[in-house]
Structure 1
């Protein structure tokens, strides 16, 4: 089959690889009909996530048709399913309390030492996201093996096309959980750093949850325009003192909640961020956390901090004093996707949530290299790329 494989920093290739096979009774094989490039994939593309090996198949946002099942799978051939990017067993302590992204059993024992050294405990497994998270092949491919298929995939009705439900795999639940972690109250002012896919869904979710005011912070004009269309007020950080503007927009108190949807590769020309950029380029593990640092200083005393943006290593010059002295509440983590897929599917069906506005380009899987390059270099206009395996040609923005 054809799949997109990683070979080094900014070196991804569409290659022929072995077809997946049923290994365990709870496995299923999915024929991928749609798969997307995620902002988190760019961290792999930029070489800032450890544990990658040449030939690894990328992709953790995908859906498709069930074509084969193991004896322990609850899926049936022919069903259309969306697959969560988190691989979860359904039976461990964390799965029982719906903390699916902390599953204790999905990351093979031989893969656990690296993440346990970094984080104190081993990570759970994710599709297509390094050997830190199990080394599982991802879904930017024609076919994919889905472990624990009786726990993860959600069957979607035929009257909803792929574009409407694909993002249940990751970014819609991630944006929703980000807003939920901000503990939004009806009169809250919420500031969201980053108007990429997760940030835009966090904005949409915060508005649906009843926030009085949502403020979006970015520097890409088109993305800020998308945020404005969702109902947010916007700040272009390149021409504005963000903290000063937020204080003015919150009546001098500071915003009630902040959401960092940027993560470890923040833009900006602050001195500490420029130093971190250099460190990343020379292989020193320093996350560029300028958005998070800015958020901690902008939120009010007793405020709420939500961090859906991906961080993988260490960061310098962290304002720990602000965190403690201001009495801030912080919630973060990989998304517990399986917890959210059913209620969010209902919100898609009843029209409460829209996902299709985000898609800017559709490409055949064979043009995935072009998709990665442009998603990285043209972030203002390439807001979301959907890849279509099995199609030779397709209009980019069909």
Structure 2
């Protein structure tokens, strides 16, 4: 600062104007993180919310209280679709989700809780908080639904990357603004340095002048004696285009989607190779997630003895194929005798029906053994 001080001392008027408010701080683009997370997590949440949770025994669906809670109304304030979308959002964002059953038989997603872990005994959940209310009782592991996603919170894992993207995005916006900003010089006929009062008045006038130019399509600038405003060209106008800013946001969403196992083409609505992307999405993203949920529901809602007797919870409606799209394959499976009609119905997400014809295995003539020869229509020589 020694060199700068010497320069300012040579020009006291410059020294007084040097304190004018012409600097600003760089803002953090926190909405970039929100945009990427909301886009990808809600994409998965909307998929899971379409699931149909079926409790069955020996292939026959059971309709009980759990069927109503899981598929219709988990609690007094949420529908099933809203509940499961919020369930997935909490699971992925916080790496774990806890659902408790209240005394009124409502399924509630905990906003906060403390988990006390034990090596031999079931873990205990304390200070469970839902919508600002903290339960005084403790919950055992075997009486709650608790699922973990990965080994570390997604937000914690990605904080560094989001910080880098935010800095880069902010710099690109600043560069774009800088290359397209309106610049001007103000000349003042002053024989002496400005005192603080006149300096503030000058700053206010310049601010009003700038706002008039910035906000209005047509700005009229008063011509004052001893005050002259001149607009100058803004140097390099190449800057960063809006397309580059949009590409940066797209790249950030792509990184989050790749971590979660979502094909980027699905997130952005690209229809190229849609079928391939959808198969990969179901297999590598939704499939493992559905299995986690199914395993947890079977462990907590079905006793070991009932499970051994054929009772189970299935999660359907997401990975099943459209019957109209696989009609040819269905016909081949049925005609070859590999599956009967009810088994094919279950693979397509439908319930088996009480029809003895669909329980039979059929085999068309085209699949008869090679050693067998048909003599129909022929004569023995």
Please give the TM-score of this superposition, normalised by the length of structure 1.
Answer: 0.21
Structure with greater helix percent: 2
Structure with greater strand percent: 1
Q: Which structure has the bigger radius of gyration?
A: 2
